[in-house]
Structures are given as C-alpha cells and as structure tokens.
Amino acid sequence: MEHLIDPFQRAITYLRVSVTDRCDFRCVYCMSENMTFLPKKELLTLEELDRLCSAFISSGVRKLRITGGEPLVRKGIMTFFDSMSRHLAAGRLDELTLTTNGSQLAKYADDLAAAGVRRVNISLDTLDDAKFAEITRWGRLDQVIKGIDAAQKAGLRVKINTVALKGFNENELFTLAAWCAERDMDLTFIEVMPMGDIGNENRLMQYWSLNDLRSRLEERFTVTDLVERSGGPARYLRLEESGQKIGLITPMTHNFCESCNRVRITCTGEIYTCLGQEGKSDLRAPLRAHPDDDVPLLAAIHAAIGLKPKGHDFDYSRQELGGQMSRHMSHTGG
Ligand code: SAM
Ligand code: SF4
C-alpha cells in the first residue's frame, strides 16, 4: 500500500485515535462540568475503529495511541485492543499504546499488557488528595494510584503527564519529580493549550510557562537540554545530579511542526492533520458508505494527508488567546 507522505515531505507514521468523547473525570482545563456528549450513533463502532486503524497501518503507520475522552471507559474497548494486537504480532505495528487518566487501570492493566501494550501515559497533576479532587472535579487520587500500581505490576512502562498549572502545582514540582524518579516513571510537563469551552475557568490564569518551570528546576539542579526528539512537541532535559530525564511539551512557545509525523482521528471519524488548526476531513462517510471496500477510505485518507498544513498558530504572547480552538481536547484526543 502506498505510504502517507504529506505536502512537506513528512512521513505520517503515528496515529492518535480518540475512541470516546466521554470521561469519568471533568478536569477543569479540559471540560466544563456539564458536558453534552455525542449520541452513540455518531461514534465510530469498535469494528469501524478497527477498519480505520488497520487502513492507516497498511499505509505505513507504525505507532498507534488510543486516547479520548477516557479511552478505558469506552464499552468493549479491550476487544479493540485485543484485535489491534494482531498488527503487533505480524510486525506491521511497532507500538500500541494509550493515554489514560488511570482510573480504570487497576481493572485493565493486565489485559492491556496481554494485548501487547508496553507503555502507558497516565495523566496526573497533583499528589494531594484534595487538590486532585479539585482539578479533576470527579476523580479520586487513590483510585489513580492503584491504577498506576497495577500498570507497573503488569510490567507496563509508565509515563506521567502533568499539566503545568500556575498557582496549582508549581509548589509540587520537586515532589512530583522525586516521586516519579523513585517509582522509575518518566515525567512530562504539558503547557495548557487553548482547547474548547471550559466554562468559567480562565486559561491565562492557568497558564504556567515551562520556561519558568525550567528555571525553577535550575534553582536546585544542573539542567542539560537533550537533543533527542520524538517527532512531536516534546523536548527533554536531564537533571544532572539525579540523572532524571524530564519531558516538556510546549506547543505554543516552541516550533516543532517541521518534524511532525502524526495525525489525529476523533471519535466520530474526523481526521485532524494538525492539533493547532481547524482543518479536518471526514473519514466516517467513506467507512460507512463502503463497508466491504477499503479503497474509498484509503483515497479519503490520502486526500486528507495531502492537506496537512505546515504548522499551527497558537500564541499566548499577546496575552490573548490567539489561535483559540473551538474543539475540546477530549474530542480530538490529547
Ligand atoms: N483522559 C485521558 C487522560 O486524561 O490522560 C486521555 C485524554 S486527555 C484529553 C489527554 C491529555 O490531554 C491529558 O494528559 C490531559 O491532561 C491533557 N489536556 C487536556 N486538556 C488540555 C489542555 N487544555 N491543555 C493541555 N493539556 C490538556
Ligand atoms: Fe477526562 Fe482526560 Fe479530559 Fe481529564 S484530561 S477530563 S481525564 S479526558
């Protein structure tokens, strides 16, 4: 099958798929408290998700990340992971992974490992019970810690993703880093992105620049920037005294677009070829119109990749929400 190369000669090898817009948490930077979710018929079925991901894999995608919403609250989702594991076994896919809030991991970690998942990203912004309840609105820290325990016990490599939030977890920087180091987990901080209407929360109040976070680390450590890149927005630094490596995702302040190797699919089958642009194409229509023929679907995928823009326009620098995105992160998948 012809591989996916965009107009700027970037090979598309990484697919992120949102399998649901629903979630058992209501993180204040991600959702409003009263979310209206999509009716079930709008969502791709598990079979449609399988066909879609398999079409991408046949076109050269080597890494598949399942996200949401909370992917592990999607009914029957383990059937999908089990089914995707055939691509790992056949050597067509290098990695099957997921981003999760960790709430269901105590239940699913062993099954995920059995399906061939080796690494998992778990979102966690604070180690304080009360603050965790505040930021997730509906979540409980002990449940997530149990999920992390289960993931590690199942042999999954854990990366903690922490959204850097001004006045919220600034004072936990060193505690979080030490906790991750102690448990041999990777740690990445993410800057808040202007995605979706989140009710009364003020994003500029939430925004904590990772340049500032880096300076804080320098108060206690010798910080070295590492050259390695993942093809995405993450860059890495090392704390020389401890050897710990920390990831920073700064989509607004750093330009990573030239090495972008990824596209995203929403739970309704729309493909977004750039996280920071509204441009999208519908893949659900060709999927549903031709249940037994992947040719129109593959043509639609290639056409969408042909429209992948060069880069994005997020900009907080003028203290206004330049490049504000109307869609929620939980819709596109983080
Ligand atoms: N529910 C799963 C979770 O929380 O890991 C997967 C989906 S969630 C949308 C993916 C990631 O996006 C999480 O790490 C979350 O913290 C992050 N996220 C959500 N809204 C964000 C925003 N406005 N800015 C930056 N990161 C955000
Ligand atoms: Fe749910 Fe993840 Fe969004 Fe939090 S960040 S509300 S856990 S989808």
When comparing pLDDT for 126 and 33, which is higher?
126
Average pLDDT over residues 104-130: 98
Q: Tell me the average pLDDT across 319-334.
A: 53
Q: What's the one-letter identity of residue 44?
A: L
Residues with CB under 6 A from ligand 1: 23, 29-30, 67-68, 70, 99-101, 123, 161, 163, 190, 192-193, 195, 329-330, 334
pLDDT in tens, 139-180: 999 999 999 999 999 999 999 999 999 999 999 999 999 999
For 39, counting Cβ atoms within 10 Å of its Cβ (0-12 exposed, 13-18 middle, 19+ buried), the class is: exposed
Q: Which ligand 2 atom lies nearest to the CA of residue 330?
A: 8
Our mutation pick for probing the ligand 2 site, out of 249, 330, 331, counting the most ligand atoms within 8 A of Cβ, is 330
pLDDT of residue 140: 97
What are the φ/ψ torsions at residue 17 (nearest 5 degrees)? -125, 125
For 226-281, what is each residue's pLDDT tens digit? 987 766 778 999 999 999 999 999 866 546 677 788 899 999 999 998 877 778 99
**Ligand 2, atom 3, residue with closest C-alpha:** 30
Smallest CA-to-CA distance from 208 within 172, 160, 234 is with 172
User: Nearest residue CA, atom 13 of ligand 1?
Assistant: 123
Supply the pLDDT for residue 257. 78
- Minimal CA–CA distance to 12: which of 82, 63, 70, 69? 63
SS3 of 129-169: the string is HHHHHHHHCCCCHHHHHHHHHHHHHCCCEEEEEEEEECCCC
Instruction: Write out pLDDT tens, residues 44-92.
Output: 999 999 999 999 999 999 999 999 999 999 999 999 999 999 999 999 9
- The answer to whether residue 185 scores a pLDDT higher than 60 is yes
List pocket residues of ligand 2, CB cut-off 6 Å.
23, 25-27, 30-31, 68-70, 101, 123, 330
Q: How far is CA 331 from CA 8, 91, 146, 259, 328, in A?
A: 26, 30, 27, 24, 5
User: How sure is the predictor about 189, in pLDDT bands with cuts at 50, 70 and 90?
Assistant: very high
Tell me the HSE value of 137 on the side-chain side, using a 13 A CA sphere: 15
Q: Mind listing the pLDDT tens digit for each residue in 197-215?
A: 666 555 555 789 999 999 9
CA distance 267 to 37: 11
Query: What is the pLDDT at residue 251?
Result: 66
Both ends of the chain: CA-CA distance in Å?
Answer: 28
Residue with the bigger pLDDT between 222 and 2: it is 222
Atom of ligand 1 nearest to the CA of 23: 1
Lowest mean pLDDT among 32-36, 251-255, 286-290: 251-255
pTM > 0.85: yes
Distance, in Å, from the CA atom of 284 to the CA atom of 267, rounded to the nearest integer, reads: 10
pLDDT at 193 over 80: no
* 193 vs 231 pLDDT, higher one: 193
Banded model confidence at residue 315, pLDDT cuts 50, 70, 90: very low
Distance 329 CA to ligand 2 centre (A): 8
Confidence of residue 282 (pLDDT cuts 50, 70, 90): very high
**Conformation bin of residue 231: beta by default, left when phi > 0, alpha when psi is -120 to 50:** left
What ligand has the least distance to the C-alpha of 138? 2
